[in-house]
Structure 1
Amino acid sequence: MSEPPAVAHAPSRYLTIKHAQALFEMAPESLSAEQRQRVDEIVARQRAIEQRVLASPEAQQVRVTEATIDAGVAEVMSRFSTEADFVCTLAAQGLTLATLREELARDIKVEAVLEAVSASLPAVTRQDVEIFYRLHADRFQTPERRTVRHILITINDTLSGNDRSAARARIDQIRATCSKDPEQFANQALRHSECPTAMQGGLLGPVPRGQLFPTLDAALFTMRVGELSAVLESPMGFHILRCDHIHPGGRIPLAKVQDKIHAQIQGTRRANHQRAWLKQLLHKR
């Protein structure tokens, strides 16, 4: 199958729309003069790079099929609720389906050339992964977390039953009930807690240090499993905590992260190689 024709090296409406959305989440016509200048500079730079990439010897070995472009058009179209919306939006932005296909063909070919340039890189080995894991040990440490439930009674002097003294009396009574029967905590949370977590029996889930208000955080990380806290106060009001489980911190085993490390090394090598190739290409006379 023959390769689709590339667009001329004229200002690209497609790239202008693409970068206006990426940078400012706006249509080009809504940009300020300063924003439009920034977008135009990026588009001009990208067009210049594309021109050099597509004129390179490596580009002569790359072919973009109609099926690949069809997939690109389908991906763009999937962002719209109907095909009519898609066509109307293209028209509003000064594009037709034909010009969109041309622009996508150009984008896809540039990406394909860059992939081809880095295709000869050596494979990432098990040793590479293990060395990365050892050299970046701090990245693979998990902090201690504690699964906690809480009951909240808010303080609001303008609301009957929630002034400070009434709120304190209510939370004290709830705590007394929970102290007698710890299994009542979830039920008491459901009945009395003024936090959305009441519907889950007060469950906040596993939390690391520093996620809760300081008074709550300090208490939680001194508690034993199953222990009930004293009544604690935060800017939200009065709380009772119960520690359900302690998840110790530690190092994540290599087996659990080796695929992620492999992908990161591979991606970094590919990006560095492509940047070096582009730099050399752009400095050629």
Structure 2
Amino acid sequence: MKGIKMGILMLLCCVQASSVWAQVVGVAAKVNGVEISNFRLERHFADYLLAQGRSVGAIRSPNVYKRFRKEALEQLIDKELLWQEAQKRGLNVDPVRVQTELKKLKAAFGSPENFARRLVQEGFDESSYTDYLRQELAAMMMLEALTPVSAPSAAEVERLYQLNVKQFERPELIQARHILLKVSTASDQESIAEVHKQITSLQQQLNQGADFAALARRYSQDSTAEQGGLLDDFQRGDMVPSFETAAFALLPGAISEPVLTQYGWHLIKLEQRHPSLTMPQQEAKELILRQLANEQINQARTATLVQLRADSEVVILSR
């Protein structure tokens, strides 16, 4: 239900002029003889894109535009099917509930005047928008009524937990900084030794109290230099062996001896160590239960919409 409410609010947040909506003519589809106008489709299309953090103007590819528009039309057809089914079954939305939702939406716009102004921009008046809101709520209620699902069994939850127990474990992680002075291990010994002198000089400055991050910003030849050499948290197996061995051997705040890898000479400072964690079994099973329930609901809803279409006459006119 939260998705419906958010979609309704985002629809009103679309910035479209009423004069633009007025130019949209024609029919996009027919559902059991009921027309879905291009006007209605374009309004829903803007809402559909906003729900994904997109806007019509940001889509550059004609193929992507057509795909999203087709998906929006399919969604609109599903809503019309559900609304028609709700009417057929005599499912009515409590007027008090509709008015309650309307009040919430008005409050979201700060004042009744702002709300009324936005309705006009979107091609509504309060009466037609109330009807729209009633249909949206009825469609959602109908979908919920048509897709009752039983709770996943404890045996199924236990089975999935045992199969995926490793997914509920987080390995030991560390956070470290490093300074890299590049030299290839394929270089001659003289070049390797020369860069070793340079890294040793930096090590001496650190031993005398220099700030590691400041030296990394000034001297490191790695892409992390601007961040003071700070690396993303990593686990065993993420780094080359010699770097990993040196890093995991450190205590927080300690700095390694110079370490040679195929990239060059490194100095490593351990910032934090995060011990391995295992999610408590009960918490893991509750997570599995929620995921299973959501999967069952989604599968049931998909099957319901497929059946509604099979029992209906749907003609798509807009391509």
Matched, 1:147 2:179: no
Give the C-alpha shift of residue 246 in structure 1. 5.4
Residue of structure 1 in register with 2:71 after alignment: 42
Q: Percent identity?
A: 16
Corresponding residue for 1:277?
304
Instruction: State yes or no: 1:106 paired with 2:135.
Output: yes
Shift of 1:268: 0.8
Q: What SS does the corresponding residue of 1:123 show, helix, strand or coil?
A: coil
SS in 2 for 1:121: coil
What secondary structure does 1:152 align onto?
Answer: strand
Per-residue displacement from partner, 1:153-203 (whole Å, max 9, x unpaired)? 677xxxxxxxx999865532232355x68xx5xx631442314554xxx66
Distance in 2 between residues matched to 1:136 and 1:30, nearest whole Å: 39
Counterpart-to-counterpart distance in 2, 1:229 and 1:74: 64
Sort the Cα spacing of 1:29 and 1:262 in 2 relative to 1 into closer, same or farther, 3 A: closer
Partner SS for 2:93: coil
The superposition leaves residues 18-44 of structure 1 with CA deviations (integer Å, 9 ceiling, x where unpaired) of 234456822379777655544443343
* 8 Å contact kept, 1:225–1:243: yes
1:224 aligns to what? 249
The partner residue of 2:98 within 61, 66, 71 is 66
Q: 1:67 Cα deviation (Å)?
A: 4.1
SS of equivalent residue, structure 2 residue 199: helix
Higher relative contact order, structure no. (Cα contacts within 8 Å, ≥ 6 residues apart) = 2
1:174 touches 1:188 (CA, 8 Å); kept in 2?
A: no
Letter in 2 for 1:70: L
User: Superposed, which structure 2 residues align to 1:3-82 within 5 Å?
Assistant: 9-11=36-38, 12=40, 13-22=42-51, 25-27=54-56, 34=63, 37-56=66-85, 60-63=90-93, 65-67=97-99, 69-70=101-102, 73=105, 77=108
* 3-state SS in 2 of match to 1:208: coil
Q: Is the 8 A contact 1:171 1:231 kept in 2?
A: no
1:225, 1:85 → 2: CA distance?
60
| Counterpart residue number, 1:193 | 216
Task: Find the counterpart in structure 2 of residue 256 from structure 1.
Answer: 283
Residue 43 to residue 206, structure 1, CA distance change in 2 (3 Å): closer
Equivalent residue letter for 2:300: H
- What stretches of structure 2 of length at least 5 have no aligned partner? 1-33, 183-191, 218-224, 313-319
**How far did residue 284 of structure 1 move?**
1.9
Amino acid at match of 2:98: E
* 1:39-92 CA distance string (max 9 Å, x none): 4433432333222212226863352522453277369x56xx998887666555
Structure 1 unmatched runs, 5+:
1-6, 156-163
Q: TM-score, normalised by structure 2?
A: 0.59
1:127 maps to what in 2? Answer: 155
Q: Give the residue type in structure 1 aligned to 2:292.
A: I
Q: CA deviation at 1:99?
A: 4.4
Q: CA deviation at 1:15?
A: 0.7
